[in-house]
Amino acid sequence: MTTNGLFSESSLGDRLDPAAHLWLVAPGVRTVLDALRPCGGITRFVGGAVRDALIGRPVNEVDFATTLQPEGVLDALQRAGLKGIPTGMAHGTITAVADGKGYEITTLRRDVRTFGRRAEVAFSDDWETDATRRDFTFNALYADEDGTIRDFTEGRRDLARGLVRFIGRAEDRVREDSLRLLRFFRFTAWLGQGEPDPEAVDACRRFSPLLGGLSRERVGHEILKLLAAPDPRSAWALMTACGATARILPVPPTEERWVRLVAAQLAADETFAGRGENLRRTGLLRLTALTPPTPESAQRVTEALRLSRAEGRLVESWGRLAAHLPSGHTAKVFQAALRQALYDEGEEVALGAALLRTAEEGLTLDEVGVREVINGWTSPMFPLNGEDMRKLGWEEGPEMGLVLRAVEAWWRARDFQPTREDCRAEACRFADKT
């Protein structure tokens, strides 16, 4: 048995101490539990929160499993004056809103039949049955209100040794729901250590053709999460070897560029292991590195993974700008180009493109002084305006706009150094020339 060196089985313990895991007693969590308590039944924490807390990762999203029926949950929330959204009544999921946050509360269930991603479910009050319908052993960990861990599938053991293991036969689980195939690679990227489970890999290889039937949005969501792992290189290589990458990306990925980006981010400790939106942005930049830098490729990837319009624009802008930035080896020239990019496209686009470009050359941001430029940056004001132009004898109109834009381009190309006086003189020179 391999261990990842960080955790041993026993170190994961039998209980999460609420004094150390404050999410267990967060106001919203308490409000939800207090609302459900009068109805009896048992409600426990489940899934990602328990898994991540056990290995010391931050917990942002808290989900509950309960023996209460969905209608009972809705009633209880209503009685407590909380908003309950019937997110997936048929599957027993209700979202409670408390302290400004959403909490998914799902009734214990057993999947009677599954059709692709859909399942016909029966509610149950048996925890072990609920555990076995979940995907991976470490995703079926529950915790009581006081933090006591309930582990029916040896999830802690697998979590400790970094083994992503399907509950039951891998083949059956992947055939029931092919999204699990992508989830396998996603959790391998984040938590995998040592050799991946051969049975799971075999199932993923054989059933990767099923990926074609998934909704593009779900695929996009999983892929961005996978790519945001600090070092997703081996999980990605495994996914490619299993034939899955080619089924989800519409263009041949630019792997070398991507590998360099990940390596540069790791070297500079810049993997921004954030959560939520931040995590998606991290994944998006990595996805851009994998996308050939043409507008057509960016568009095809945007469509295939159903990225938002803003995200699609970002992929396109990052790719385009990265291709235009000069070499990072001449830091001064690079920094001047970066200032122009900041002026034109703002920090998010400029910083992402700088990362892509420098990584391609095996450089880190600090080696090129990128941070220095970005930290000290406030967008300069172009010193010339219509009023100045009128004083110089121009009349309002398209020609004046044209000259203003030409002088602005001149000022920008000189690293924003020319003064108002210089710009006025340039405007006059421009008029003489035309």
Q: Which does 135 bind (CB under 5 to 8 A by kind): ligand ATP, Mg ion, none?
A: ligand ATP
Nearer to Mg ion, 61 or 388 (CB): 61
Q: What string marks each residue from 7 to 46 as x (binds ligand ATP by CB under 6 A) or -?
A: ----------------------------------------
Q: What are the CA-CA distances from residue 364 to residues 95, 121, 286, 341 (Å)? A: 43, 51, 15, 18
Question: Which residue in the set 135, 197, 311, 316 belongs to the binding site for ligand ATP (CB under 6 A)?
Answer: 135
Site for ligand ATP in 149-188 (CB under 6 A): 177, 179-180, 183
3-state secondary structure of 339: helix
Nearer to ligand ATP, 33 or 174 (CB): 174
Is residue 140 part of the contact set for ligand ATP (CB under 6 A)? yes
One-letter amino acid at 372 equals E
Q: Which residue is nearest to Mg ion (CB)?
A: 48
Is residue 48 part of the contact set for ligand ATP (CB under 6 A)? yes
Q: Token pair for residue 379? A: 């967008």
Q: Which does 140 bind (CB under 5 to 8 A by kind): Mg ion, ligand ATP, none?
A: ligand ATP
Nearer to ligand ATP, 140 or 427 (CB): 140
3-state secondary structure of 430: helix
Q: Which does 422 bind (CB under 5 to 8 A by kind): ligand ATP, Mg ion, none?
A: none
Q: Using alpha carbons, select from 269, 185, 251 the residue that is nearest to residue 223.
A: 185
Q: In the complex, what is the shortest distance from the CB of residue 150 to Mg ion, in angstroms, rounded to a whole number?
A: 17
d(CA 50, CA 66): 15
Q: Which does 150 bind (CB under 5 to 8 A by kind): ligand ATP, Mg ion, none?
A: none
Q: What are the CA-CA distances from residue 226 to residues 159, 230, 239, 293, 325 (Å)? A: 17, 9, 11, 21, 28
Could you give the count of Cα atoms lying within 13 Å of 13 in the half-sphere of its Cβ?
Answer: 12
* Separation of first and last alpha carbons in the chain: 79
Q: In the complex, what is the shortest distance from the CB of residue 15 to ligand ATP, in angstroms, rounded to a whole number?
A: 20
Is residue 61 part of the contact set for ligand ATP (CB under 6 A)? yes
Q: Which does 134 bind (CB under 5 to 8 A by kind): ligand ATP, Mg ion, none?
A: ligand ATP
Is residue 134 part of the contact set for ligand ATP (CB under 6 A)? yes
Q: Which residue is nearest to ligand ATP (CB)?
A: 48
Name the helix (H) or strand (E) containing 362: none
Is residue 88 part of the contact set for Mg ion (CB under 5 A)? no
Q: Where are the alpha helices (DSSP H) in 242-369?
A: 245-248, 255-267, 276-290, 295-304, 309-324, 331-360, 365-368
d(CA 132, CA 151): 11
Is residue 61 part of the contact set for Mg ion (CB under 5 A)? yes
Q: Token pair for residue 128? A: 């072990």
Task: Give the footprint of ligand ATP on this chain (CB under 6 A).
Answer: 47-48, 61, 63, 134-135, 139-140, 177, 179-180, 183
Binding site for Mg ion (CB under 5 A): 48, 61
